[in-house]
Every structure is written in C-alpha cells, then in structure tokens.
Amino acid sequence: MSELPDAHVEWDAGRLGCGEVLVMLRSRMRRLAGGQVLKVTVRDLGAPEEMPAWCRMTRRRLLRADHPDYWIEQRQEP
C-alpha cells in the first residue's frame, strides 16, 4: 500500500451529506495556501463519486481517495 499524503489540516465531516460537505468544503479550502492538503472524512455513500467530481470542477487535485477519507490539494493561484 502506498504512503498516505501529509495533511496540513484534517476535517471530519461527521454524518453530513455530500451536499452540505461540498458547500462547507469550499470555505475550508479557501483558508489553505496553494499546495497545502486537506484530509476530509466524508461518510456519505455518494462521496466516492461526488468528491472527485467536485475536485475536477474546482481545479483542485485529489491526491488520494480511500472512502471515507479524501486528501485534496489546494490549487496554486497564478
């Protein structure tokens, strides 16, 4: 098994649904500097599809997805 990415910040979203998580995730990611990583724990069963889609749409890099844990890298601003 490959090594887990280092996370600068961790967030356990508890039992929130993906819709709520994605809304809150936006503001949490904005607090990070470019290149920093957020590890978020999302238990919602839709997360394996929703989290990668959100990363693609917001141009953030999904470093690893191991449901319920997701490591997301904040994008570098030009």
State pLDDT tens for residues 20-66: 999 999 999 999 999 999 999 999 999 999 999 999 999 999 999 99
The pLDDT of residue 48 is: 97
The whole-angstrom separation of Cα 20 and Cα 61 is 20
Helix (H) or strand (E) holding 15: none
Is the alpha carbon torsion for 54, 72, 14, 44 positive or negative? positive
CA 29 – CA 38 distance, rounded (Å): 7
pLDDT bucket at 78, cuts 50 / 70 / 90: low
- The pLDDT score that the predictor gives to residue 63 is 97
Q: Is the pLDDT of residue 10 over 70?
A: yes
Rounded Cα gap, residues 48 and 43, in angstroms: 10
